Amino acid sequence: MFGDLVPPYPPRCSPDVEAARRHALCWAGEMRILSDPDARWRVWGEAEFVGTDFALFAALTHPDARGAELDLLADSCVWS
């Protein structure tokens, strides 16, 4: 259906995506968003969190964001 749809600009990604990944995982742990692996009701484990890659989403949707700005954008994706 959309196979021929090509955006008029090349896709870009913030070069700080790796740092944002580390930050987002740490922040999610601090906010207790991640479940303890031994918890009775496990909602969001570290493996699922890493696989979802919120920082990559933030880096692709805001390719000019760097450093703390990208970290904040990734945090907002996690929180949402």
Check whether 34 has a pLDDT greater than 90: no
Domain membership flag for residue 4: no
Which residues does 37 contact at the CB level (< 8 Å), separation at least 6? Answer: 45, 46
Is residue 6 one of the residues assigned to a domain?
A: no
Structure-token pair, residue 36: 């303890």
Query: pTM to 2 decimals?
Result: 0.82
The answer to the question of residue 66 being in a domain is: yes
Domain tally, the chain = 1
Predicted pLDDT of residue 18:
98
What does DSSP assign to residue 9? S
> What pLDDT, in 10s, does the model give residues 63-75?
999 999 999 999 9
Range of the domain at 58: 17-38+50-79
Structure confidence at residue 8 as a pLDDT band (50, 70, 90): confident
Residue 58 counted as domain residue: yes
Residue 12 forms part of a structural domain: no
Q: What is the mean pLDDT of residues 10-25?
A: 96
Task: State yes or no: pLDDT of 42 exceeds 70.
Answer: no
